[in-house]
Amino acid sequence: MNSGAPSPSQQINLGPSSNPSAKPSDFHFLKVIGKGSFGKVLLARHRADDQFYAVKVLQKKAILKKKEEKHIMSERNVLLKNVKHPFLVGLHYSFQTADKLYFILDYINGGELFYHLQRERCFLEPRARFYAAEIASALGYLHSLNIVYRDLKPENILLDSEGHIILTDFGLCKENIEPNGTTSTFCGTPEYLAPEVLHKQPYDRTVDWWCLGAVLYEMLYGLPPFYSRNTAEMYDNILNKPLQLKPNISNAARHLLEGLLQKDRTKRLGCTEDFIEIKNHIFFSPINWDDLNSKKITPPFNPNVTGPNDLRHFDPEFTDEPVPSSIGCSPDSALVTASIKEAAEAFVGFSYAPSMDSYL
């Protein structure tokens, strides 16, 4: 259970995390800051210690309806292993009520990479390199735990208050994929799907390096590599259209994109030595990876947030939405129906609090 517990040297402020009987009323829910298929992400302040958190609230009914409970439990398991990496969002604890699941996560308010890309259209190469390096470091770490991420896209990449990358949303992660292991579930986001996924063939961890190539391409050019408004046409492009690179990028960037966006996964950059191949590519030669991982490199862009209440980098489409009153309360026990009981059984073991002995 404590496989993801931080070492004592990290001295994480436990706050109320050691209390396994956490409940929605412990929090003051302030703003909606994001939305997903099964619920919302809210900025919340813990009433006891005044700490700010991002709280992901999921509706059990919606998850069960789409038979996605395995993905949710997988997300929880992956979050528990993420404690030790600087570019992955951290889970403080999780709990459930009869009808909802709650993830209590690090609050990151520098905005989605997607939001910044939309505003600036594309990034200069040094900035794109910095982000790609931090993303690659996070993916390499997940791979070292035999986890394939599978859903890399600018909406799942956040900037923290200093401008460092934080990967979030582990709902599509696949655990227990050994270095030569494959999986075959068709999942991901259309623009970033690798050819082997579209072909419904078994695929391996190199699927994440394809997605890194797609995100880097988008950072440099403003659109994903094979983009079309017509999804069928876009799928055809991904499968059959040769990669076209405009001349306004360096040879090193061009070579990296060609390696990552190689349609044949057995020839793709990263197919033999995984992250080591990415790390050693000439495009990343200006990066000192030890300094990168200890956050000693100053980010090329500072979101300049004034504090937790500064929501300037969140889409007003979310923040203007009223906070639903049901978020902060548990259903009356008299109203617990058969379907709610079924929901409770589907998420056995979801709740998590670090045990005290893991901090001693």
How far is C-alpha 23 from the chain's CA centre? 25
3-state helix/strand/coil string of 155-200: HHEEECCCCCEEECCCCCCECCCCCCCCECCCCCCHHHCCHHHHCC
From 26, 49, 99, 151, the catalytic residue = 151
CB 4 within 8 A of CB 86: no
Q: Is 100 annotated as a binding residue?
A: no
Known active-site residue 151: yes
How far is C-alpha 15 from the chain's CA centre? 24
3-class secondary structure, 210: helix
* Residue carrying the six token digits 């040879």: 251
Give the separation between CA 163 and CA 34, rounded to whole angstroms: 19
Phi/psi at 183 (5° precision): -140, 170
* Cβ neighbours, 10 Å, residue 9: 5
Give the separation between CA 330 and CA 95, rounded to whole angstroms: 12
* Cβ neighbours, 10 Å, residue 55: 25
3-class secondary structure, 2: coil
Q: What share of the chain is helix, strand, coil (3-state, %, to 5)?
A: 40, 15, 45
How far is C-alpha 70 from the chain's CA centre? 17
Give the separation between CA 271 and CA 264, rounded to whole angstroms: 10
CB 146 within 8 A of CB 177: yes
Phi-psi region of 215 (alpha: psi -120 to 50; beta: other; left: phi over 0): alpha
**Tokens encoding 24:** 């929605």
CB 81 within 8 A of CB 4: yes
User: Which residues have C-beta within 8 Å of that of residue 247, sequence separation ≥ 6?
Assistant: none
Mind telling me the catalytic residues?
A: 151
Q: Extract the annotated binding site for ATP.
A: 65
